[in-house]
A and B are shown apart, each in its own frame.
Chain A
Amino acid sequence: MDEKITERKKIEDKLREREQLLSSIYNTVGDVIFHLAVEGEEHYRFESVNAAFSISTGLPKEAVIGKMVNEVIPEPSLSMVLGKYRQAIEEKTIVRWEETSDYPTGRKTGEVSVAPVFDDSGRCTHLVGSVHVITERKKAEEEVRQYAEQYNKMKSTDLFGYWLVDENAKLLDVNEHYSRMSGYTREELLNLTVPELEGLETSDETVKRIQRVIEAGTMQFESKHRAKDGHVFDVEINVVYWYSKRKFITFINDITERKQAELQIKDKTEQLKLLSEELEIIIDSIPGLVFYKDSNNRFIRVNKYIADAYKMEKSKLEGMSLFDLHEKKQAQAYYEDDLVVIRSGKAKLNINEPWETETGLRWVNTSKVPYVDETGKVVGVIGISMDVTERKVLEEELKKHRQHLEKLVEKRTRELNLSNKELEQVLFTTSHDLRSPLVNVQGFTKELDASIQNLLSILSDADISQELRKKIMAIVTDDIPESIKYILKSTSKMDGLLNGLLRLSRVGRQKLTMNEIDMNKLISEVVSTFEHQIKDNNVKLEIWELPKCYGNSNLINQVFSNLIENAIKFTNKNQNAIINISGEKTGNRSVYYVKDNGIGIDSEHKDKIYDIFHQLNPSKKGTGLGLTIVKRIIDKHNGSIDVESTPKSGSKFIIELPGT
């Protein structure tokens, strides 16, 4: 028995000893251990906590044991904690998580693990939890580790280059990206200093900049770096001075592309600016009104010409309505045109309209075109007006002058026609009336001659002294006949002149009946009237095939009669006289040539040969009217006559007449 008691005592002692051991472990472990009774869903009661629990949370055992979890653990941890408990029970597993909660001792962070305890029937009766409180140092270490990781991650970025630089501008660390940017290996870079990479600043400038960064703490600037292969690239530098380590953390951004894009934009902007300046200069130098108006008769843009005319700054005019600048009626008239253009979307050109200015009323010629915005909507009108006042005044004057001139010409023509007619009438009347006395002069001279014959027959029978007879005979047979001879010669000459004048007057008075003329026939008729003279003068006549012409055959007959007569007259001393008549068609005209190898015409006389009564050779028979009549007839046919001539070798008359 004793033995049994001793044995039990030994076991009891052993159990007590173990219990004490467990209890002392329970209460001496640094980690928090707690024991929860599961009393139903979401009902957990603290059965025991160890000493570390009270130390960590600052809550005494008495304040916890027997309390429900929701009475001890504050929100928001509570909801998460309850969820984790349920998970552990449902999944029958140990659940671990990290948790931070506020306790009287402050914010505590710990790694929590909860294990479910089941009875024989499989019901979860208890939860045993432990919390491994993470200390500040550990946290710091963790942070360092994380920072290092972040640092390395950051360094490995592909977005920008990274340097760590000391105050002597020596590179302490670089990233891969910068190696790629510069073409240097990491090892090479770590042997370099900033000035060796700097492509813009001198080393002095770099030293100064380092100083400034130290003062300012941080700096952002643009510079250029030189790559290993020598090429220079644009960089943007962000540098932070790390006071405690006296180092510089530097981020380098390759902005070559951005720079180029910027340059291009700058270039484009510059160009655009230049272009718009140029455009403004052009528009301002247009000597007319150039404007852009909105749909309410308001100026949006005007040129200098308009500003000058209104004696206002461009900027002041822009925004003003024409209703502010002109009287309502006129402004409305301008506006109506705008509306037509805006509504139709079509230009309205050449509007002649008045324009009241500071210096008085002007006239402008305006064209308006629709102003279309980028969406295709008509939002206004673009217009250009040219001042046409001077032109209008000139036109008016010109019109007046023209009318005056027309009247004058009409009057003069009438006068001229009248005087021409009068002249012809006078010519006709005088030449006609002059013939009557001439008939008498000649007639009675002949009668005188007859009387002398009578006188002579009387004398032959008369009984008078020889001496007296001789004296009388001298008078009657010599003196009187001589006088008679000169009288008759002169009357005959005067008769010729009068005949010529009569013919000339007839050319003017005659109304022309025009026909197609067969010139071959006409010339042969003309030539036949000169048959005798041609034979007598031994003239060789050549007549070629002639084209037809259009005219009055009587008058054309006279033209060629006169020309051929002249040709015969002026070749009569030539033993080998040749007269050649030829012709050709040029376009709708017929040209004839009358050519002789006679005495020719001195060039100084060429212009005079058509003058009335002009005789080149007064010793020759003639009236001096032949070529005057020829010219007159040709003029009446709207033709022309010209002569080519060489003295002593002949003349060639060129007659141009309307063809058929």
Chain B
Amino acid sequence: MKNEVKIIIAEDDEGHATLIEKNLRRSGILNETIWFKDGQETLDYLFQKNKKVKRESGDSLLLLLDIRMPKLDGTEVLQRVKEDKELRKMPVIMITTTDDPREVEKCHDLGCSSYLTKPIDYDKFVEVIRKLGLFLLVVEVPTINGKN
């Protein structure tokens, strides 16, 4: 994965975010990560409404999206992203504690790239994140609102 790809972590649990980031680093993913603690913050950033953290047009983005979040939940964020003709190019990987088949199906229907369940078993969790890291290393991420 190109270094300029920014990894956005939408995760209300700071611990989870920390664990994800730590293990991504251990897997050799050294890209910039930006963490938002709810759906609203995430959308504001993506739709360039966030005043503190500004998204530059033409950036390549990858979204790690939790489902259960305050204000706006992950599926709503996903839906809004996929409705936008630019943002829809961005890969969205669901990382969630929910393994409810209906939730999984719903996210796939909305157009998520991948769906990962957070295992509580840490070893498995590490394994999942490592696989995610490997995936991110090979994936092509298009630029959003870019020229090409």
Contacts and interface: CB of A to CB of B under 8 A. Distances in A.
Interface string B85-108: 000000000000111101000000
Given A439-B125, A446-B122, A502 B13 contact: no
Contact of B121 (A437, A492, A502): A492
A495 interface: yes
B100 A502 contact: yes
Nearest to A435: B97
A438 B100 contact: no
Contacts of A433: 68
Nearest to B14: A440
A439 B16 contact: yes
Contacts of A447: 19, 22
Given A432-B68, A432-B98, A506-B100, A444 B120 contact: no
Contact of B122 (A432, A435, A445): A445
Interface of B: 13, 15-16, 19, 22, 68, 97-100, 102, 118, 120-123, 125-126
A491 interface: yes
A495 B15 contact: no
A443 B125 contact: yes
A436 interface: yes
A510 B105 CA distance: 14
A510 to B, nearest CB: 8
A438 B120 CA distance: 7
B13 A443 contact: no
Contacts of A436: 13, 16, 68, 97
Contact of B118 (A439, A445, A502): A439
Interface string A427-464: 00000110111111011111100000000000000000
Nearest to B22: A447
Contacts of A440: 13, 15-16, 19
A510 B100 CA distance: 10
A545 B126 CA distance: 45
A296 to B, nearest CB: 81
Interface string A485-513: 00000011001000000100010001000
Nearest to B96: A432
A495 B120 contact: yes
Given A435-B120, A442-B120, 20 more contacts: A432-B68, A432-B98, A435-B118, A436-B16, A436-B68, A437-B13, A439-B19, A439-B118, A439-B120, A440-B19, A442-B121, A442-B122, A444-B15, A444-B19, A447-B19, A492-B121, A495-B120, A502-B99, A502-B100, A506-B100
21 contacts: A432-B68, A432-B97, A432-B98, A435-B120, A436-B13, A436-B68, A437-B13, A438-B120, A439-B15, A439-B16, A439-B118, A439-B125, A440-B19, A442-B122, A443-B122, A444-B15, A444-B19, A446-B126, A495-B120, A495-B121, A510-B102
Nearest to B100: A506
A439 B100 contact: no
A444 B23 CA distance: 12
A432 B103 CA distance: 13
Contacts of A437: 13, 15
Indicate the member of B97, B118, B120, B123 with the most A CB atoms within 10 Å: B120
A564 to B, nearest CB: 22
Contacts of A491: 120
Nearest to B15: A440
Contacts of B126: 446
